[in-house]
Structure 1
């Protein structure tokens, strides 16, 4: 992967890791969920973590495709 793509990949990796950690910490702090609102907040955090993972994987795969050319 080229150096200019590494910065973007690194930023996405950090965002992905932080989103996953935020969801995990929220779960540990609030389980068992006492209200639907708390459960919805956790679901939003989980969704954000999944989106960040997908973006990270897509960006990394695009870099791999460019290298293979």
Structure 2
């Protein structure tokens, strides 16, 4: 149970850092709507990647290859 809490905290902080990095990179260069769209896209990609990693951890613990 403690692992799940740690994974959730790390996932949330990772998404925050990814979105902040995009904000700092394109913040003043593009329109606000475009910036929000890019942040959402990066967050979705991050969520998919984290889901894949979580799936891999679960499969390894169950012994499925």
| TM-score category (smaller protein) | 0.5 to 0.7
- Cα deviation digits, residues 33-66 of structure 1 (max 9, x gap): xxx8111111000001111111111100000000
Greater relative CO, 1 or 2 (CA 8 Å, sep 6+): 1
Unaligned runs of 5+ in 1: 1-8, 27-35
Structure 2 unpaired stretches of 5+ = 1-6, 24-29
- TM-score, normalised via structure 2 length: 0.56
Q: How does 1:8-27 map to 2 (within 5 A)?
A: 13=11, 14-16=13-15, 18=16
Report whether the alignment pairs 1:65 with 2:59: yes
Q: CA RMSD in A?
A: 3.2
TM-score (norm 1): 0.54
